[in-house]
């Protein structure tokens, strides 16, 4: 029988089992790299380049319409026929690039449509699950009246007297009743929303069964701005320039059999840009356009020059910014797959820079092979709210560059991040994670985190900097970091400050979560047993940390907490109780 201080019986509540944690893994490096630079056309070269881009763009849109109108059984063999029909007005190489690009766009649109259907099904399932539950308990006060303290009588679980209390098995069943929507008005709004979602699902499933996704060349967001120019803060002329720049087509696939890796757009060893004019515009611009000013790529220029000389395949894309009246050229090529991809156990002997990504900032800390934090914690601002996509990408790259520099300076061999995925919040967030201003703020914060963009950029930049990227399961890192490590790390940092070996950096729950991420990448557990003796423990300074007993003498010492034993007979080893403790771990 479980009783409280007042003598009342408390219902037995089983602990929720922990979910199974996934093993950490080394993220594979990217399969291709790209670099971008600005071209400087003179005289009427810009008009010629844009004229070729608009002509190829119109041809590409016609081919895309043809692809979308085909029946599903004719799709596999349609590219060869479409390429043949485009060769007469462009060329064989340009026709191949156009058909390949449209096919990739079509496949991506189908995958997005399937994801949209899955999201709608998840939302409908969440609403139906809540509709099956009973309504919430009636309110005790008036609808707009004062709030009553405590729980309503109908929400309070039924309590039995000690004399009439049942067995432990009966107490297990007396759980709190689960409710659905709080009242009939909220339930009615949910049914209306359910009806609208079912209509959207029916339309999406029809398009998916017919294999006809919706594709907007130039971007749907920019298309919607045309109908509300005042809200977008642009004029009709500015919108027309953006729309035309987005719909030009100047993408040429690489070919290792051709000179300098491409036959439509190529850069020679001297840096001059050559554009092969399509057949339909030879009478107007000639057979070839050569920009008089050479270009130079700042990033990966040596690798690109070596590839141009040896004749490797290089893909080029020319884009135009109408606001700044600038022309850019992007070169991309495949890189060979690594012959050996290590496992996390192979990188266990190295230091890891663990990163905890948050809504408007990130926290990081270096963790050594024993699971100890080394040096000071790291804080960086990452507030991307309200920034355009180009500025967001530039800011993310800037922050990752600083992190890689810190990892190199502190002797790290890998960078550890969480394998985050907020697909459930995107699909059923409104039904599962609360409503109102608080729920909206939470969902906005979570969905505003650039998890996928940050991970993709980090992996590619780590590969260039000879660092490995490790992804770990994000479960319980923040919770266990605050519960088991925050107080200890704060005390450890205070000792370092007293010895003037640390900066005035505060230890928060975010850097404690980063320390847990680093420990998980090394294979250590996050929860700590209570190693406190029955007598008191005091914090003293020194390097005699029991975690360092197996470490070599030439390694950087770690300042931790040592135990002053009042009674040498009593042992300070594990007591077996899994609770909070300020003692140092003995995992090493």
Predicted pLDDT of residue 82 = 92
Q: Kindly write down the DSSP assignment for every residue of 435-459, as one continuous string.
A: -HHHHHHHHHHHHTS-HHHHHHHHH
Q: Measured between alpha carbons, how far is 110 from 116 in angstroms, rounded to an integer?
A: 10
What does the chain come to in residues?
588
Q: Measured between alpha carbons, how far is 262 from 218 in angstroms, rounded to an integer?
A: 26
Q: pLDDT higher for 155 or 367? A: 367
Strands 288-290 and 315-321: unpaired
Q: Which of 413, 426, 397 is nearest to 466 (CA)?
A: 413
Find how far residue 5's CA is from the centre of its chain.
48
Angle of helix 184-209 versus helix 92-131 axis, rounded to 10: 150
Q: pLDDT higher for 570 or 378? A: 378
Q: Per residue in 329-359, pLDDT tens?
A: 999 999 888 888 888 888 989 999 999 988 8
Give the 3-state secondary structure of residue 472: strand
Predicted pLDDT of residue 164 = 45
Give the 3-state secondary structure of residue 518: helix
- Rg for the chain, CA atoms, rounded: 31
Q: Measured between alpha carbons, how far is 296 from 272 in angstroms, rounded to an integer?
A: 9
Strands 351-357 and 412-418: parallel
Strands 273-276 and 288-290: antiparallel
Q: Per residue in 534-570, pLDDT tens?
A: 433 444 444 444 444 444 444 444 444 433 333 333 3
Contacts of 43 (CB under 8 A, 6+ apart): none
Q: Per residue in 388-435, pLDDT tens?
A: 777 888 888 899 999 999 999 999 999 999 988 776 666 676 666 666
- Distance (Å) of CA 102 to CA 74, 243, 251, 330, 540: 16, 19, 11, 19, 68
CA-based angle 221:225:228, to the nearest 5? Answer: 145
Contacts of 52 (CB under 8 A, 6+ apart): 250, 275, 277, 278, 281, 285, 289
Phi first, then psi, for residue 410 (nearest 5°) are: -95, 10
- Residue 163: HSE in the Cβ half-sphere, 13 Å Cα cutoff: 0
Q: Measured between alpha carbons, how far is 218 from 213 in angstroms, rounded to an integer?
A: 16
- Distance (Å) of CA 441 to CA 119, 302, 387, 433, 453: 21, 47, 18, 11, 21
Residue 524: count of CB within 10 angstroms of its CB: 18
284 beta partners: none
Find how far residue 333's CA is from the centre of its chain.
24
Average pLDDT, the chain: 80
Q: Is the pLDDT of residue 318 over 70?
A: yes
The kind and range of the H/E element at 39 are strand 32-39
Grade residue 381 by pLDDT with cuts at 50, 70 and 90. Answer: confident
Question: Please, is 249 exposed, middle or buried when counting C-beta atoms within 10 Å of its C-beta (0-12, 13-18, 19+)?
Answer: buried
Lowest mean pLDDT among 15-24, 25-34, 76-85, 154-163: 154-163
Q: Measured between alpha carbons, how far is 32 from 251 in angstroms, rounded to an integer?
A: 16
Cα of first residue to Cα of last residue in the chain, in angstroms, is: 42
Q: Is the pLDDT of residue 531 over 70?
A: no
Sheet containing 273-276: which strands, arranged edge to edge? 265-267, 273-276, 288-290
Q: pLDDT higher for 291 or 543? A: 291
How confident is the model over 272-290, as a mean pLDDT? 93
Q: Measured between alpha carbons, how far is 131 from 182 in angstroms, rounded to an integer?
A: 11
Q: Measured between alpha carbons, how far is 123 from 428 in angstroms, rounded to an integer?
A: 5
Contacts of 351 (CB under 8 A, 6+ apart): 366, 367, 368, 369, 374, 410, 411, 412, 413
Predicted pLDDT of residue 307 = 92
Phi first, then psi, for residue 137 (nearest 5°) are: -65, 150
**DSSP-assigned letter for residue 204:** H
Q: Measured between alpha carbons, how far is 142 from 147 in angstroms, rounded to an integer?
A: 9
**Structural domains in the chain?**
344-529 (3.30.420.40)
Report, in this order, helix, strand and coil percent for the chain, each rounded to 5: 45, 15, 45
How confident is the model over 302-321, as a mean pLDDT? 92
């Amino acid at each position: 029988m479980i009783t409280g201080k007042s003598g009342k019986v408390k219902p037995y509540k089983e602990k929720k089992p922990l979910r199974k944690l996934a093993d950490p893994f080394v993220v594979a490096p990217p399969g291709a790299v790209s670099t971008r630079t600005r071209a400087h056309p003179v005289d009427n070269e810009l008009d010629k380049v844009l004229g070729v881009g608009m002509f190829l763009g119109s041809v590409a849109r016609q081919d895309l319409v043809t692809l979308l109108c085909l029946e599903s059984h004719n799709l596999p063999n349609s590219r060869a026929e479409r390429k043949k029909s485009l060769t007469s007005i462009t060329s064989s190489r340009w026709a191949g690039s156009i058909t390949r690009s449209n096919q990739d766009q079509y496949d991506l649109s189908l995958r997005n449509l399937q994801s949209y259907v899955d999201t709608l099904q998840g939302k409908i399932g969440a609403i139906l699950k809540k509709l099956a539950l009973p309504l919430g308990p009636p309110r005790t006060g008036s609808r707009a009246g004062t709030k009553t303290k405590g729980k309503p009588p109908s929400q309070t679980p039924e309590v039995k007297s000690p004399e009439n209390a049942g067995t432990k098995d009966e107490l297990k069943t007396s759980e709190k009743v689960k409710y659905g929507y709080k009242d009939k008005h909220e339930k009615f709004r949910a049914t209306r929303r359910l009806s609208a979602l079912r209509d959207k699902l029916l339309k999406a499933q029809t398009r998916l069964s017919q294999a006809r996704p919706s594709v907007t060349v130039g971007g749907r967001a920019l298309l919607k701005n045309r109908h509300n120019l005042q809200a977008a803060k642009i004029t009709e002329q500015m919108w027309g320039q953006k729309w035309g720049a987005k719909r030009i087509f100047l993408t040429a696939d690489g070919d290792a059999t051709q000179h300098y890796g491409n036959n439509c757009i190529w850069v020679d060893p001297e840096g001059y840009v050559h554009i092969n004019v399509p057949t339909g515009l030879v009478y107007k611009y000639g057979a070839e356009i050569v920009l008089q000013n050479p270009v130079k790529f700042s990033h990966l220029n040596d690798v690109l020059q070596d590839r141009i000389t040896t004749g490797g395949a290089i893909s080029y894309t020319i884009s135009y910014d109408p606001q700044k009246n600038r022309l850019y050229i992007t070169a991309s090529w495949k890189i060979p797959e690594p012959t050996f991809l290590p496992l996390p156990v192979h990188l266990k002997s190295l230091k890891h820079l663990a990163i905890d990504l948050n809504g408007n900032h990130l926290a990081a800390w270096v963790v050594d092979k024993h699971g100890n934090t080394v040096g000071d914690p790291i804080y960086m601002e990452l507030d991307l709210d309200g920034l355009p996509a180009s500025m967001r990408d530039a800011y993310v790259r800037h922050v990752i560059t600083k992190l890689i520099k810190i990892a190199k300076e502190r002797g790290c061999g890998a960078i550890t991040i969480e394998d985050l995925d907020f697909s459930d919040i995107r699909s059923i967030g409104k039904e599962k994670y609360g409503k109102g201003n608080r729920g909206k703020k939470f969902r906005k914060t979570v969905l505003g985190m650039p998890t996928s963009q940050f991970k993709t950029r980090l992996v590619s930049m780590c590969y260039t900097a000879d660092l490995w990227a490790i992804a770990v399961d994000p479960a319980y890192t923040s919770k266990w970091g605050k519960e088991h490590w925050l107080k200890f790390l704060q005390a450890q940092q205070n000792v370092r400050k007293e010895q003037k070996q640390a900066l005035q950096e505060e230890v928060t729950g975010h850097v404690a979560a980063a320390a847990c991420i680093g420990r998980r990448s090394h294979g250590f557990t996050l929860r700590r047993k209570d190693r406190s003796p029955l007598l008191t423990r005091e914090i003293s300074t020194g390097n005699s940390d029991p975690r360092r007993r197996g470490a070599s003498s030439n390694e950087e010492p770690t300042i931790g907490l040592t135990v002053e034993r009042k009674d040498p007979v009593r042992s300070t080893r594990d007591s077996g109780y899994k609770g909070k403790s300020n003692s140092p771990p003995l995992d090493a």
